[in-house]
């Protein structure tokens, strides 16, 4: 049962997506019913415009396939916690002068934290 991991609040979804931007996390974007994917990253999140920008791929043929996809399924990790969300059809745009894709913000996002308290790595310091 993944219901307890599902975020549906726009504020929470935007916060997670902005964390992906800040940490420059790699995102796998699956399309064509999971048969194809590109590695990308979330470039910008605009809550007021209800839009996010993701980086386009280097291969123009694959970028054209991405633009034809009805739905994309995106997967990443944030603090060792799996993050999943889907996007509808993308459109071409630019970000900082470079090609990018634009999409409406997802209406739900799965943050799959399987432990009540997840483990963080502690920094190793030299004893005094």
pLDDT digit string, tens, across residues 64-89? 999 999 999 999 999 899 999 999 99
**Mean pLDDT, residues 23-29 taken together:** 96
Pairwise CA distance, residues 85 & 76, whole Å: 9
pLDDT surpasses 90 at 121? no
pLDDT surpasses 70 at 126? no
pLDDT surpasses 80 at 115? no
Domains in the chain with CATH codes: 3-112 (2.30.110.10)
> What local confidence, expressed as pLDDT, does residue 116 receive?
52
**pLDDT band, residue 23 (cuts 50/70/90):** very high
Q: Are strands 42-46 and 51-55 parallel, antiparallel or unpaired?
A: antiparallel
> What is the pTM for the complete model shown?
0.83
Annotate 64-92 with b (16+ C-beta within 10 A) or e (fewer): eebeebeebbbbbebeeeebbbbbeebee
Pairwise CA distance, residues 42 & 101, whole Å: 10
Element housing 49 (H / E): none
pLDDT surpasses 80 at 123? no
pLDDT surpasses 90 at 117? no
> What local confidence, expressed as pLDDT, does residue 2 receive?
79
| Phi-psi region at 80: left, alpha or beta (left = phi > 0; alpha = psi -120 to 50) | left
User: By C-alpha distance, which of 124, 88, 109 is closest to 19?
Assistant: 109
Pairwise CA distance, residues 4 & 15, whole Å: 18
pLDDT digit string, tens, across residues 28-47? 999 998 899 999 999 999 99
Pairwise CA distance, residues 34 & 84, whole Å: 14
> What local confidence, expressed as pLDDT, does residue 1 receive?
72
């Amino acid at each position: 049962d993944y219901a307890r991991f599902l975020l549906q609040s726009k504020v929470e979804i935007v916060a997670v997506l902005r964390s992906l931007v800040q940490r420059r996390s790699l995102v796998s974007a699956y399309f064509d019913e999971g048969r194809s994917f590109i590695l990308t990253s979330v470039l910008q999140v605009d809550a007021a415009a209800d839009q996010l920008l993701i980086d386009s791929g280097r291969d123009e043929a694959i970028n054209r396939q991405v633009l034809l996809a009805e739905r994309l399924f995106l997967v990443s990790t944030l603090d060792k916690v799996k993050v999943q969300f889907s996007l509808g059809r993308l459109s071409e745009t630019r970000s900082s002068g470079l090609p990018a894709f634009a999409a409406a913000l997802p209406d739900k996002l799965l943050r799959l934290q399987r432990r009540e308290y997840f483990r963080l790595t502690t920094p190793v310091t030299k004893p005094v």
